[in-house]
A = this chain, B = another copy of it.
Amino acid sequence: MIFYDLINRQRAHFSPNSWRTRMALAHKGIQPEIRDLLFGEIGNIRPGGDKLTIPTIEDKGRFITDSWNIAQYLDEAYPQTPRLIATGAEGQVLRFFQHWVQTTVHAGIARLIMLDLYNSLAPSDQAYFRTSREKQYKMTLEEIQGGREERLDAFRKSLQPMRLSLALGPFISGEQPGYADYLAFGGFQWARTSSAYSVLVADDVVYAWFERCLDLYDGLGRREAAAHA
């Protein structure tokens, strides 16, 4: 299996959606070969085909793209490994959790680190990144991140439902980590690898949970270089 993943200028893997998949693969005991890419090289994964996005895996002659599709594919193609997404209603509630991560964790962190993220990228990726994000937000990167101190408290408060779950057990999924944990982990690992800004405080149960996640699978997450100021 080949895993196509983005790297920044210090060659750290930073994509939040990729981290979901990297943790999911570790959960299943699958060790893919990693192919490092810049944003500008995504088009080379499969020349001439439809545009793929990151993460993409190549397995048994097929390309599978999008973290949710990949998780479903892994459950089907490797049925002897621990399942990530339940069938039926339970899988749909997990999908809601992904939507919560997207609208609360990712969107919140984006407004705290966007300019740092830009600065962490390889120089050849920066023009593309600035243009695409400024078009999406209808603001400059400087404006997206600007005034982050005033948004920090609201971001931390928005994690309250996660905090209530972490009061019941070490992981969102209970005693053992599951795909919900990897979904949320991706967002915080994106912040850790892209910015030295502290999005969490050390006495928060979410911080302690993130530290536990960094230690999973022989420190798979922790081995990735954190951004430095």
Most chain B CB within a 10 A radius of its CB, from A88, A93, A97, A104: A93
Of B88, B99, B102, B169, the residue contacting A92 (CB under 8 A) is B169
Q: CA separation between A162 and B97, bound complex, in Å? A: 9
Q: Mark A107-146, 1 if CB is under 8 A from B, else 0.
A: 0000000000000000000000000000000000000000
Q: Let me know if A53 is at the binding interface, CB within 8 A.
A: no
Least CB distance from A71 to B in Å reads 13
Q: Mark A147-180, 1 if CB is under 8 A from B, else 0.
A: 0000000000000111011001101111010111
Are A165 and B92 in contact, with the CB atoms below 8 A?
yes
Q: Let me know if A41 is at the binding interface, CB within 8 A.
A: no
Q: Let me know if A201 is at the binding interface, CB within 8 A.
A: no
- Number of interface residues, chain A, beta carbon within 8 A: 31
Residue of B nearest to A160 (CB): B103
Are B161 and A99 in contact, with the CB atoms below 8 A?
yes
Q: CA separation between A88 and B176, bound complex, in Å? A: 9
Q: Given the complex, which residues of B lie within 8 Å of A89, measured CB to CB?
A: 173-174, 176, 178-180
Q: Let me know if A199 is at the binding interface, CB within 8 A.
A: no
Q: List 22 A-B contacts (CB under 8 A).
A: A86-B90, A88-B173, A88-B174, A89-B173, A89-B178, A89-B180, A90-B93, A90-B94, A91-B174, A92-B168, A92-B173, A93-B93, A95-B165, A96-B97, A96-B161, A99-B160, A99-B161, A99-B162, A99-B164, A100-B100, A102-B164, A103-B160
Can you name 16 extra interface pairs (CB under 8 A) apart from A92-B168, A100-B161? A88-B174, A90-B94, A92-B169, A92-B171, A92-B172, A92-B173, A92-B174, A93-B172, A93-B178, A96-B97, A96-B172, A96-B180, A99-B161, A99-B162, A99-B165, A104-B161
